[in-house]
C-alpha cells in the first residue's frame, strides 16, 4: 500500500474519530446542561364524584384533559389510577382539529357509591425552547371560531359597536389585533365588589375577572374577523390547591398558526415557559356524563433533581476529558495551548500554499503567544528592545570576529540587562507590575533574534529581512486567532476539533502544487506566446 492510500485512510480515520468524539461530547454536554436547567414537575388531578345513572344501560363518564406538549414543556409520563375495579380507564384520541386528548373513566355501576380517580402527569420544563412553534391545525372551517356562544357574545349589538373604536390608522391585521389586546388588557380586575366573569360586562364597563378578560379578547377578535379560542391550562408552579387558568389563542392566516395571548398578565404572542395548556376551545379540564357531585383537586409539585447532577460531583477518571472542570485561572493557559495547533495551521498554509517565508514553523505562533501571555504593549516593548540591542550588539561585535555562540551569548546578556532594568523602571513607576509577565516573551524573542543573526550570517540581510517580515505577518494572523475568546471557549469545550486539524495537516502535507508566490517570482520565465488564451 503506497503513501497516498495510507494518507487517504488516515484522513478518513481522523474525520470519523473526530465526528464520533464530537457527537458523544455534544450529547453528554446537552444532557448535563438539561439536567442543570430543566425541572421535573408532577401535575395531579384528584377527582371525587358519584354516579347518576338510572339503570345499567347508561354509563358514568368522566374525561380529564391530558396536557399538551409545548416548546418548553415535554410530557414524559401519564398515569391513571382508579381503585374501583368496575371503572374502565382508557385514553381518548383527538377527534376534532384541536388535538385535545383525555383520560376517560367510565362505569355502568348504579347507585350513589362515591368514585375516586386520579390522573398524574410528569412534565419536564426547560427554559430553552426545544423546537419551533407550529400550527396545530390547518383551520379548514374558520366559521367555528368566529361564531357567537353564550359566553362569547359575538353577535351582541353593544359588543359589535366597539369595532368603531378601532383607530383609523390601524390598517393591518397586526395593528387591529394589537388594539384588541390592549383594550382587553386595560380591563380593571380590582375593586371592592367582586368582578364578573361575563365578557359583555367586561367589554362595556371595562371591569371583570381574568377569565372575563380572556373571554372578552376572544369575543372582540371574532367580531374583528380573527378566528380565536380559549385555552385552559396551568401555570406550572409549586402548589397544592391550584385552579386551571384560561388564556387565548388567535389564528393568523398569513402564518397559518395559533398565536397565544394572555391579557390578564400582559403576555402577547409568546407565553412564559411555565404555561402548560391542557385543553383548547374549552374553559374546563373535564367533561362529564351522568355524573353528580364532582369535585376535582389540582396540585403541582416539583420532583427531585436529576441524579446526574449528584453523580457529576463524584470523582471519576472520565472527568479528565472534561477540561472545563479545571480551575478558572487555568482556562487561559489551556486555551492558548489548544489554540497553538490552529496557529501552526495558519503558518503551514501561508508557508506551503502561499509561499510566505518565516523563521521556522512554530516561531510565528510562539511570537503571537508571547503577546498573549503579556499584554500586547509589553510584548511590543520587549520586541523593540530585543531588535535594537541585537542589531547594535551585532554591529559592535562584528570587528571582534567572534564565533557565533559566544557572540550570541553576549547579545543575550545585553538583552537581559536591558529588560531587567526596564522592569525595574516599570516597578518604580507602577509597584504592582510583575516581572513574571516578561519572562516568556523575552525567552521567545531572544530565540528569534538568534535565528535572525544566524540567518543574516548565512543568507544575507535582504533574505533575512524578508523572513522577518513574513514572520511578523504570520504572527499577527496567529495573534488574531489566539486572542479570540469565542474560539478559545469552543476548543476548550470540544478539544476533539483537533482531529480535524490533523486531517488538514495531512492534506497539506500531500500538497505538491505551486506556491502562489512562486507564480509571481518566476513570471519572467513564461513565454507570452505560450501562455494560455
Q: What is the CATH number of the domain that holds 167?
A: 3.10.620.30
**What is the extent of the structural domain holding 451?**
322-518
Mean pLDDT, residues 48-76: 86
Return the minimum-mean-pLDDT range out of 38-42, 220-224, 311-315, 364-368.
Answer: 311-315
Choose one of 220, 252, 283: the last residue of a domain.
Answer: 283
Same domain, 158 and 266: yes
Q: Are 35 and 513 in contact (CB under 8 A)?
A: no
Task: Measure the CA–CA gap between 211 and 248, rounded to whole angstroms.
Answer: 10
The Cα angle at residue 140 between residues 139 and 145, in degrees rounded to 5 = 55
pLDDT at 262 over 90: yes
**pTM of structure:** 0.61
Has residue 173 been placed in a domain? yes
pLDDT at 134: 43
Same domain, 270 and 373: no
Has residue 237 been placed in a domain? yes
Q: Partners of 61 in the beta sheet?
A: 106, 289
Q: Is 432 exposed, middle or buried (0-12, 13-18, 19+ CB in 10 A)?
A: exposed
Same domain, 365 and 246: no
How many Cα atoms are found within 13 Å in the side-chain-facing hemisphere of 478?
34
Q: Please report, for residues 205, 270, 273, 274, 353, the alpha-carbon distance to residue 411 in angstroms, rounded to integers and kept in the order given.
A: 92, 69, 67, 70, 35
Choose one of 224, 255, 283: the last residue of a domain.
Answer: 283
pLDDT digits (tens, 9 = 90+) for 369-384: 767 665 556 666 666 7
Task: Measure the CA–CA gap between 379 and 146, rounded to whole angstroms.
Answer: 72
Q: Please report, for residues 89, 144, 283, 457, 475, the alpha-carbon distance to residue 96 in angstroms, rounded to integers and kept in the order given.
A: 21, 12, 16, 89, 67
Q: Partners of 117 in the beta sheet?
A: 47
Q: What is the DSSP letter of 354?
A: I
Full 3-state SS string of 468-519:
HHHHHHHHHHHHHHHCCHHHHHHHHHCCCHHHHHHHHHHHHHCCCCCCHHHH
Task: Measure the CA–CA gap between 289 and 51, rounded to whole angstroms.
Answer: 9
Same domain, 513 and 365: yes
Return the minimum-mean-pLDDT range out of 156-160, 212-216, 411-415.
Answer: 411-415
Share of the chain above pLDDT 70, in %: 78
Same domain, 500 and 388: yes
Same domain, 255 and 148: yes
What mean pLDDT, rounded, does the chain reach?
Answer: 80
Has residue 261 been placed in a domain? yes
Has residue 58 been placed in a domain? no
Has residue 257 been placed in a domain? yes
> Of 93-97, 154-158, 165-169, where does the model show the most confidence?
154-158
Which residues, including other chains, have CB under 8 Å from residue 460's CB and lie 6 or more apart?
none
pLDDT at 440 over 60: no
Has residue 362 been placed in a domain? yes
pLDDT at 367 over 70: yes
Same domain, 339 and 407: yes
Which residues, including other chains, have CB under 8 Å from residue 114's CB and lie 6 or more apart?
48, 49, 50, 293
Backbone angles phi, psi at 62, to 5 degrees: -130, 120
Q: Please report, for residues 389, 402, 405, 406, the alpha-carbon distance to residue 399 in angstroms, rounded to integers and kept in the order given.
A: 17, 8, 16, 14
| Cα radius of gyration (the chain) | 38
Same domain, 265 and 370: no
In sign, the C-alpha dihedral spanning 137, 138, 141, 143 is positive
pLDDT at 138 over 60: no
Q: What is the DSSP letter of 172?
A: S
Task: Measure the CA–CA gap between 41 and 382, rounded to whole angstroms.
Answer: 60
Same domain, 258 and 327: no
Has residue 299 been placed in a domain? no
Has residue 418 been placed in a domain? yes
Same domain, 355 and 277: no
pLDDT at 218: 92
Same domain, 271 and 327: no
Choose one of 283, 312, 335: the last residue of a domain.
Answer: 283
Amino acid at each position: 500500500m503506497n503513501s497516498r492510500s495510507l494518507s487517504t485512510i488516515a484522513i478518513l480515520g481522523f474525520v470519523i474519530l473526530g465526528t464520533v468524539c464530537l457527537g458523544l461530547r455534544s450529547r453528554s454536554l446537552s444532557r448535563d446542561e438539561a439536567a442543570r436547567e430543566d425541572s421535573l414537575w408532577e401535575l395531579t388531578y384528584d377527582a371525587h364524584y358519584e354516579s347518576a345513572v338510572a339503570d345499567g344501560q347508561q354509563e358514568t363518564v368522566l374525561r380529564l384533559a391530558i396536557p399538551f406538549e409545548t416548546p418548553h414543556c415535554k410530557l414524559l409520563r401519564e398515569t391513571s389510577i382508579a381503585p374501583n375495579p368496575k371503572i374502565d380507564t382508557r385514553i381518548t384520541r383527538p377527534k376534532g382539529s384541536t388535538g385535545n386528548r383525555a383520560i376517560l373513566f367510565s362505569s355502568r355501576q348504579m347507585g350513589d357509591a362515591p368514585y375516586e380517580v386520579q390522573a398524574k402527569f410528569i412534565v419536564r420544563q426547560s427554559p430553552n425552547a426545544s423546537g419551533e412553534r407550529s400550527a396545530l391545525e390547518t383551520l379548514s372551517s374558520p366559521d367555528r371560531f368566529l361564531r357567537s356562544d353564550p359566553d362569547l357574545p359575538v353577535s351582541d349589538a353593544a359588543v359589535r359597536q366597539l369595532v368603531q373604536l378601532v383607530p383609523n390608522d390601524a390598517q393591518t391585521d397586526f395593528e387591529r389585533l394589537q388594539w384588541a389586546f390592549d383594550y382587553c388588557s386595560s380591563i380593571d380586575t380590582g375593586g371592592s365588589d367582586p368582578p364578573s366573569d361575563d365578557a359583555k360586562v367586561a367589554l362595556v364597563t371595562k371591569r371583570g375577572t381574568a377569565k372575563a378578560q380572556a373571554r372578552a379578547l376572544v369575543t372582540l377578535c371574532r367580531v374583528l374577523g380573527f378566528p380565536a379560542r380559549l385555552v385552559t391550562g396551568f401555570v406550572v408552579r409549586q402548589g397544592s390547591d391550584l385552579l386551571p387558568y384560561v388564556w387565548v389563542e388567535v389564528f393568523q392566516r398569513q402564518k397559518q398558526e395559533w398565536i397565544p395571548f394572555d391579557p390578564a398578565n400582559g403576555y402577547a404572542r409568546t407565553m412564559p415557559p411555565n404555561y402548560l395548556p391542557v385543553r383548547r376551545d374549552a374553559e374546563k379540564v373535564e367533561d362529564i356524563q351522568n355524573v353528580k357531585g364532582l369535585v376535582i383537586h389540582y396540585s403541582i409539585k416539583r420532583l427531585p433533581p436529576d441524579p446526574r447532577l449528584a453523580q457529576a460531583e463524584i470523582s471519576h477518571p472520565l472527568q479528565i476529558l472534561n477540561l472545563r472542570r479545571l480551575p478558572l485561572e487555568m482556562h487561559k493557559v489551556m486555551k492558548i495551548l489548544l489554540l497553538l495547533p490552529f496557529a501552526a495551521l495558519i503558518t503551514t498554509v501561508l508557508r506551503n500554499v502561499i509561499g510566505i517565508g518565516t523563521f521556522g514553523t512554530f516561531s510565528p505562533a510562539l511570537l503571537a503567544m508571547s503577546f498573549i501571555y503579556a499584554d500586547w504593549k509589553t510584548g511590543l516593548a520587549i520586541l523593540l528592545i530585543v531588535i535594537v540591542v541585537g542589531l547594535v550588539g551585532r554591529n559592535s561585535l562584528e570587528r571582534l570576529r567572534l564565533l557565533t555562540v559566544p557572540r550570541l551569548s553576549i547579545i543575550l546578556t545585553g538583552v537581559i540587562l536591558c529588560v531587567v532594568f526596564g522592569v525595574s523602571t516599570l516597578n518604580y513607576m507602577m509597584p504592582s507590575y510583575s516581572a513574571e509577565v516578561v519572562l516568556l516573551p523575552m525567552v521567545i524573542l531572544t530565540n528569534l533574534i538568534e535565528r535572525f543573526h544566524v540567518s543574516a550570517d548565512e543568507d544575507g540581510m535582504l533574505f533575512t529581512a524578508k523572513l522577518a517580515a513574513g514572520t511578523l505577518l504570520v504572527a499577527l494572523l496567529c495573534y488574531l486567532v489566539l486572542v479570540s475568546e469565542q474560539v478559545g471557549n469552543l476548543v476548550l469545550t470540544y478539544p476533539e476539533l483537533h482531529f480535524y486539524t490533523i486531517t488538514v495537516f495531512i492534506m497539506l502535507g500531500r500538497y505538491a502544487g505551486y506556491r502562489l508566490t512562486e507564480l509571481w517570482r518566476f513570471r519572467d520565465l513564461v513565454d507570452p506566446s505560450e501562455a494560455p488564451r
